[in-house]
Structure 1
Amino acid sequence: MSDIGAIVRDIAREMAAVAQRGRVADYIPPLAEVDPARFGIAVVEADGACHLAGDADMPFSIQSVSKVFSLTLALGKVGDALWQRVGREPSGSAFNSIVQLETESGIPRNPFINAGAIVVSDVVLAGHQPREAIAEILRFTRALAGDDAIFVDEHVAQAEQGTGFRNAALANYMRAFGNLRHPVEQALGVYFHQCAIAMSCRQLALAGRYLMLAGRSPATGGSVISAARARRINALMMTCGHYDGSGEFAYRVGLPGKSGVGGGILAIAPARASIAVWSPGLNERGNSEIGTIALERLVQRTGWSVFGPSY
């Protein structure tokens, strides 16, 4: 049996020595200020054992990793009817591309690109004021992690609202096709605030446990979603969770994963572990440069790839 704690500590030491760390997301001013030398990793095993190294307890902006939690909420509200408004296919395009919306009648390819996540936010918004919808997403995330210290970073949210012109274009375009049911500014408000949720690697790994445990949450003691739905969310994370770099991530890491431009990645080893890494420097496709390397090495040393162990 591998000593997971020792592996995690070794990886953190190795990542500290890597010189090429990518580039921080400087188009969102607060993210541009984050030290690219930061690195954290947390691994929560199925038996509850928690292994931490580096900056694992430092909060960071989870950005698009939040799309996993809002998707789970939206599926709980409308079930498979969601797929009439959002597809389930990889986009092959950048996360904020508008090109496919024109040819596909305002239906985003999947819920993890920005356009798809804005539709998901529109679904969560139904029956609520934006403030209530944001609070619901935050409560849900806190419950999954069992930690009420998780918060929305208002500074980040306001910065995104002030610079999110492309997201506004996506939302308006989908509204023109009738695929947003609420005013654009309301759907975007929910979306920007969910992306501004701040969590540490420890909190993020704890929040992801339900996807490791076939929909069950040790934090709440019950079922978050059905086992079938957990499996399908994991499948979407594998095929779409890293935008147009999803195939490369599957090839190198072999786990369902969801990245964010804050430098975080949530990865799931089904029935084995929920894993969170954070390093703010991004590669050319908007995914954490060092975080991806760390996950690749973790899988090599544990054999946790869903495609089988390394030989």
Structure 2
Amino acid sequence: MKHLQQILSQACDSVRKEIAIGKTANYIPALARINPNKFGAAIVTVEGEIFRYGDATEPFSIQSISKVFALTLALNKLGDQLWLRVGREPSGSAFNSIVQLEKELGIPRNPLINAGALAVTDVLLEKSSSDNCVSEILSFIQTLANDDTVKIDAEVAQSELNTAHRNISLAEFMKSFNNIRCDVSEVVKAYCHHCAISMNCEQLARSFLFLANEGKDPVTGKQVVSPQRARRINSIMMLCGHYDASGDFAFRVGLPGKSGVGGGIVAVVPNVAAITVWSPCLNSNGNSHAGTAALEAITQATRWNIL
């Protein structure tokens, strides 16, 4: 196989015409202002090798990718009891839909849609404060990335809070079924802040390496989660990581992954590497248009595919 740097560069070069197709997340004002021509990618292998392309070292808002870190912490806290609060099935609906939540009596379909992530945040918030909850998530990510410069973008967090009407509605609705137990304003505040964590492609790929290595950080040797739990988190990403386009992503890319409306996508290649791509313009499902195309090109060139 060609050297990974060459593969990464050729794959990303091949999709440059896809950059700036779509729209930035204009319902969050701070994200609407991002340069639509930004495009970066990074591969970090379980051996610790790093390969970069384009804007790979420029920080961006990870948005819903933070849901994977929150899920990992909640599973470490509650274990399988978490599944009494949130399901494990693909939603087939928009990531902020309330219709399905009403039909299913306040139990979100999975932890990677907004309602599910709010329920997971509520679990982490119990007997704590929103500030402490966010600090716990941020510290966890800094440890995984091996980089304490990872931080929260205060402007993005405030922008999200100012436009959090739908998330407040979802949380209030779940509270009516006793599936949100903390104060709704605290839950939404914590949720908006952990979605506003800012990272670059290299940091993000590094922080997902434990999921490519049976739950163990291959660089430090620390067991973050059990092998079984790592497989389960990967399974949920495969089924639910890209909103109602998760099936299409599995068809095109064939790897577990998670997207965010900041334009980032992370994909996990079990026993091999983690890949991050970033391009801010989104398709109609809220996933990076050029990022998805780049991941498809990378997996075709490397033949990395778990299916």
TM-score by length of 1: 0.97
Are 2:18 and 1:12 equivalent residues in the alignment? no
What's the counterpart of residue 2 of structure 2?
Answer: 2
In the alignment, which residue of structure 1 is the partner of 2:51? 51
Match in the other structure for 1:207: 207
Write the distance in 1 (CA, Å) between the matches of 2:20 and 2:204.
25
Report matched runs for 1:43-192 at 5 Å. Answer: 43-192=43-192
Could you tell me which amino acid in structure 1 is paired with residue 221 of structure 2? G
Match for residue 305 of structure 1?
305
List aligned pairs for 1:251-270, cutoff 5 A. 251-270=251-270
Structure-2 separation of matches of 1:97 and 1:173: 12
The residue identity in structure 2 corresponding to 1:58 is E
Structure 2 distance, partners of 1:120, 1:301, is: 36
CA distance in 2, matches of 1:134, 1:61: 15
Match of 1:223 in 2: 223
Any gaps of 5 or more consecutive residues in structure 1? none
In the alignment, residue 300 of structure 1 is paired with which amino acid? Q
Task: Verify: 1:274 aligned to 2:271, yes or no.
Answer: no
Paired with 1:288 and 1:260, the residues of 2 have a C-alpha distance of 8
Runs ≥4 residues deviating over 4 A: none
Q: Give the AA of the match of 1:274.
A: A
Alpha-carbon distance in 1 for matches of 2:101, 2:197: 27
Note if contact 1:42-1:52 (Cα within 8 Å) is conserved in structure 2. Answer: yes
Q: Partner amino acid for 1:162?
A: N
Distance 1:28 1:19 in 2: 20
**Structure-2 separation of matches of 1:219 and 1:19:** 33
Amino acid at match of 1:182: C
- Matches of 2:172 and 2:77, distance apart in 1: 24
Query: SS where residue 43 of structure 1 aligns?
Result: strand
Q: For structure 2, list consecutive stretches of 5 or more residues without a partner in the other structure.
A: none
CA contact (8 A) 1:39 1:278 kept: yes
For 2:214 and 2:283, how far apart are their aligned partners in 1? 31
Shift in Å, 1:219: 4.9
Q: Deviations over 1:243-269 (max 9, x none)?
A: 100000000000001000000001001
1:16–1:37 Cα contact (<8 Å) kept: no
Structure 1 residue identity aligned to 2:127:
G
Distance 1:129 1:8, change over 3 A: same
Q: CA RMSD in A?
A: 1.0
CA distance in 1, matches of 2:7, 2:54: 13
Distance 1:19 1:271, change over 3 A: closer
- Secondary structure, counterpart of 1:267 in structure 2: strand
Aligned to 2:29: 29
Deviation, structure 1 residue 10 = 1.6
The answer to whether the Cα contact below 8 Å between 1:261 and 1:286 also exists between their aligned partners in 2 is: yes
Question: 1:227-246 residue pairs with structure 2 within 5 A?
Answer: 227-246=227-246
TM-superposed CA distance for 1:192, in Å, is 0.3
SS at 1:217's partner residue?
A: coil
**1:118 and 1:171 in contact (8 A); partners too:** yes
Are the counterparts in 2 of residues 144 and 208 from structure 1 also a CA contact under 8 Å? Answer: yes
Q: Which amino acid aligns with 1:114?
A: N
Calculate percent identity across the aligned residue pairs. 53
Distance 2:19 2:126 in 1: 46
Cα distance in 2 between the residues matched to 1:168 and 1:219: 39
Letter in 2 for 1:45: T
**Kept after mapping to 1: 8 A contact 2:209/2:217:** yes
Relative distance call for 1:52 and 1:19 in structure 2 (3 A) is closer
TM, length-normalised to structure 2:
0.98
Answering whether residue 162 of structure 2 is matched by residue 194 of structure 1, we say no
